[in-house]
Amino acid sequence: MRDFPSCFGENGVQVADSSSSSNTSKTAQNLVTCVYQCQIRGRSCLITITWSKSLMGQGLSVGIEDSSNQCLCKVDIKPWLFSKRRGCKSLEAYSCKIDVYWDLSSAKFGTCPEPLEKFYVGVVIDRQMVLLLGDLRKEAFKKTNAIPLPSHAVFVAKREHVFGKKVFATKALFCDNGQTHDLVIECDTITVSEPRLVIRIDSKTVMQVKRLRWKFRGNHTISVDGVAVEVLWDVHNWLFGSSLGNAIFMFRTCVSADKLWSFSQRFPETKLQQSLGFSLVLHAWKND
């Protein structure tokens, strides 16, 4: 078995994280980071959308990086207590104008920092809509006067922090434009003598790990919608670490050769190690 931490940078976009230390407060981890791959004047770039939630309110950050993970530009929208819920920010990269639009004035949220509906976030480059999130699409195009691109940004990675005592639940999307699934991770490390790990997708058990104290790190491949998904887990902190420790799970799709060829034709200058599928990283924190 490969060393688990080293897998985060292989066959997908590496989602950098400097907050996985067990000394980090759980209250600072209420955020969701989504990474999209796009083209800016023929160059492969990554657009990172980070949703956050704290006592100060909701926050949003939009950053654009080149293929070497160097930041080209970034917009930080402060918690709503101090800033408007709609607006626009103009930036510049690769000698072209980049406009970031957002309207969260009517956005509806659940327990997650990421809004559920009634919002949009758009990234417009040279008056072309490169990335559009949310369900208010008509409002977004009317506000921006942007032209829709035939090849949109591709959703390649997501990092999320989830909380629970024994059950950790989220919505999971394993590929760009794919079906959204209910993902549940169950693990009782307190009240049982022999902990086990159970993963369910849409209420169906897809994986079980028994004798977890001996198998606290590992990997296993499951099938979702006919697509191979490699699951990697590290629950060492749950079993042997401090009470502030979090477990880490990665769900990584294994893309077929046909899809790789299609992607390479679409983005010929894109490095393949950044387009071999989709990666979902979950940091699971146990509530006291």
Give the model's pLDDT for residue 14: 38
What is the Cα–Cα distance from 191 to 193, expressed in whole angstroms? 7
Give the dihedral of Cα atoms 36, 38, 43, 44; nearest 10 deg: 40
Q: Which of 7-21, 108-122, 166-180 has the highest mean pLDDT?
A: 108-122
Lowest mean pLDDT among 45-59, 79-93, 94-108: 79-93
Place of tokens 């003598």: 193
Average pLDDT value for residue range 265-281: 56
E strands within 55-153? 57-66, 71-77, 86-93, 96-103, 120-125, 128-134, 147-148
The chain-wide mean pLDDT, for the chain, equals: 80
Q: How far apart are the first and last CA of the chain?
A: 32
Give the model's pLDDT for residue 82: 65
pLDDT at residue 229 greater than cutoff 60: yes
Hey, where are the domains in the chain? Answer: 5-286
pLDDT at residue 177 greater than cutoff 80: no
202-216: buried (b, 16+ CB within 10 Å) or exposed (e) per residue? eeeebbebeebeeeb
Span 25-70, pLDDT tens digits: 445 468 899 999 988 888 888 999 999 988 888 889 999 998 777 8
Average pLDDT value for residue range 163-184: 86
Higher pLDDT, 196 or 225: 196
Exposed / middle / buried, residue 161 (Cβ in 10 Å: 0-12, 13-18, 19+): buried
pLDDT at residue 212 greater than cutoff 60: yes
158 in Cβ contact with 281 (< 8 Å): yes
Lowest mean pLDDT among 34-38, 131-135, 180-184, 268-272: 268-272
What are the backbone dihedrals phi and psi of residue 3, each rounded to the nearest 5 degrees, phi first? -60, 130
CA separation, residue 47 to residues 122, 160, 194, 224 (Å): 11, 16, 43, 26
Grade residue 265 by pLDDT with cuts at 50, 70 and 90.
very low
58 in Cβ contact with 72 (< 8 Å): no
Span 142-154, pLDDT tens digits: 999 999 877 678 8
Residues with Cβ within 8 Å of residue 197, at least 6 apart in sequence: 185, 186, 187, 207, 208, 209, 212, 233, 235
What is the Cα–Cα distance from 270 to 211, expressed in whole angstroms? 42
Residues 174, 176, 179, 181, CA torsion sign: positive
Give the model's pLDDT for residue 1: 34
Per DSSP bridges, beta strands 154-164 and 279-286 are parallel
Average pLDDT value for residue range 253-263: 54
pTM of this prediction? 0.79
Give the model's pLDDT for residue 272: 40
- Residue-level length of the chain: 288
What are the backbone dihedrals phi and psi of residue 141, each rounded to the nearest 5 degrees, phi first? -70, -35
Higher pLDDT, 161 or 41: 161
Closest CA to 281 of 255, 245, 248, 253: 248
**H helix intervals, 26-166:** 137-144
pLDDT at residue 13 greater than cutoff 60: no
Span 102-138, pLDDT tens digits: 999 999 988 888 999 999 999 999 889 999 999 999 9
